Structure 1
Amino acid sequence: MQTDTLLHVANFSTLFMCMVIKFPQIFLLMRAKSSTGVSLNSLLLEMTGYIVFVTYQMYYDYPPPTYLEYPILIAQDVILLLLILHYNGSLRQSLIYALVFIGGWRLLTVDKWIIDLAMSLCTFISATSKLAQLQCLWKSKDAGQVSALTWTMATYTCMARIYTTTVTTGDMQVLVRFIAMTLLNMWVLLTVLYYQRQSRASKKED
């Protein structure tokens, strides 16, 4: 009974958090009208990882509560992508990205070996997206437009998914992915907090 309760709490808290997880980042970009410190490559890789992951879960008929947040995350990433392209002055490229993502999604379900291969690469793709964001932060040394709250929620949701995966499907590929994402999300969060603290200290000195 206790396990069932914890599972429901983990599933629904993750779903609720993912419904708003990108909102702090979206509002921050809209307020700043700049995407400095936010990596476009990271976002594109993250969307790719999300699409592969949710398609894999659906293909193998996994319980919907274990992946319901991913369509919501993808929708929020689309909004972020449009904002970044807009502030970078390259909004016209959005049509190209849309065609590539839709075509790639259709390709995933053509055959079982394709979705299995894609899933085996999914952790690498998602990890690369976090490393791209870290690289962007290290290069710009500016986390002013990066939301620490969004990365905090991302860390929590991955930790919750470690638990739900363990007690439901036990899929090792999925479990390894969430462990890796938890550690990398935490790394990004600490980096964001570090640069934001440095920025505040610099402003005080001025």
Structure 2
Amino acid sequence: MAEKAVLDKGLSFMDPFKGFLLTYFMPESCYDEFFLSFNFLDVPCLKIIVSKGLGIGIILGSVMVKLPQIIKLMGAKSAEGLSFKSVLLELLAITGTMAYSITNKFPFSAWGEALFLMLQTVTIGFLIQHYGGRTGRGLLFLVVYFCLLVLLLSPVTPVSVVTSMQASNMPAIIIGRLIQAATNFQNGHTGQLSAVSVFLLFAGSLARIFTSLQETGDSLMALTYIISSTFNGIIALQVLYYWKSCPEHKKKRE
């Protein structure tokens, strides 16, 4: 009777949160393990919760991860130091991940940041064109991209095409980041590249290695994030190396 009372008490306490927890953080088996058996050290369930928590955190962070970059561009009214080709390749990789995840019906917590990163990256691409005096080309870029996106997500596009696009993410990420790294090296500074955005992207891609393995079990997704983390790390190191060489820091010293 005493044991039943404890269980009833536990159930009555967690009942208001059960739906939320099962929807976003854990399967029912883990809910039972934690809140009925009170086994809070169950490793498989802990991995699930950590992965879900990281995934949700990454998604929430992605809503604003590139906002510092956008704000910096708009404030300076310049896109100096940013490579449009690099942005295009990054957009290709983000779009591939998003389409691949939707096609394979992966949980939103495993890829949701791609949606917000896509919107912000498209904005950055337009701003690069706009501040380069090519606003018309920037608008054309927006129209063409979103038309292609609708086509890609439609039933007309074969699954094999989406899978191939995801596989092409790796060279796209490598080439795109190398282009940006080369631009930074040639300029001797990182220009209007936002340090906050760079470091957030690096941290997010690192965390995604774990969450992609845990939530999707897809080695292609995990490998994509490993490569992304490596090359995001290179850009992050450049930001640190060229920190005092940025035009804005030079102005402050002067």
Alignment correspondent of 1:162: 209
Range 62-71 or range 97-106, more displaced: 97-106
Alignment correspondent of 2:25: none
Q: Give the number of the structure with larger relative contact order, counting CA–CA contacts within 8 Å between residues 6 or more apart.
A: 1
Native 8 Å contact 1:162 1:179 kept in 2 = yes
Query: 4+ runs of 1 displaced by more than 4 Å?
Result: 199-206
Q: Structure 2 CA distance, aligned partners of 1:22 and 1:79?
A: 10
Shift of 1:107: 4.5
Unaligned runs of 5+ in 1: none
Q: Structure 2 CA distance, aligned partners of 1:156 and 1:56?
A: 22
Residue 24 in structure 1 maps to residue 68 in structure 2 = yes
Identity %: 25
Alignment correspondent of 1:33: 77
Structure 2 SS opposite 1:20: coil
CA-to-aligned-CA distance 1:53-76 (integer Å, 9 cap, x gap): 100110111111111111111111
Native 8 Å contact 1:36 1:140 kept in 2 = no
Distance 1:201 1:174, change over 3 A: same
Range 181-190 or range 192-201, more displaced: 192-201
Q: Which amino acid aligns with 2:201?
A: A
Shift of 1:203: 6.3
Alignment correspondent of 2:190: 143
Alignment correspondent of 2:244: 197
Native 8 Å contact 1:37 1:137 kept in 2 = yes
Alignment correspondent of 2:53: 9
Unaligned runs of 5+ in 2: 1-44
CA-to-aligned-CA distance 1:6-64 (integer Å, 9 cap, x gap): 11221121011111110111111112111111111111111111111100110111111
Shift of 1:178: 0.3
Native 8 Å contact 2:126 2:142 kept in 1 = no
Q: Structure 1 CA distance, aligned partners of 2:153 and 2:168?
A: 12
After superposition, the CA RMSD in angstroms is 2.0
Native 8 Å contact 2:70 2:124 kept in 1 = yes
Give the alignment partner of residue 133 of structure 1, picking from 180, 187, 192.
180
Range 176-185 or range 193-202, more displaced: 193-202
Alignment correspondent of 1:187: 234
Alignment correspondent of 2:140: 96
Native 8 Å contact 2:189 2:245 kept in 1 = no
Q: Structure 2 CA distance, aligned partners of 1:165 and 1:70?
A: 13
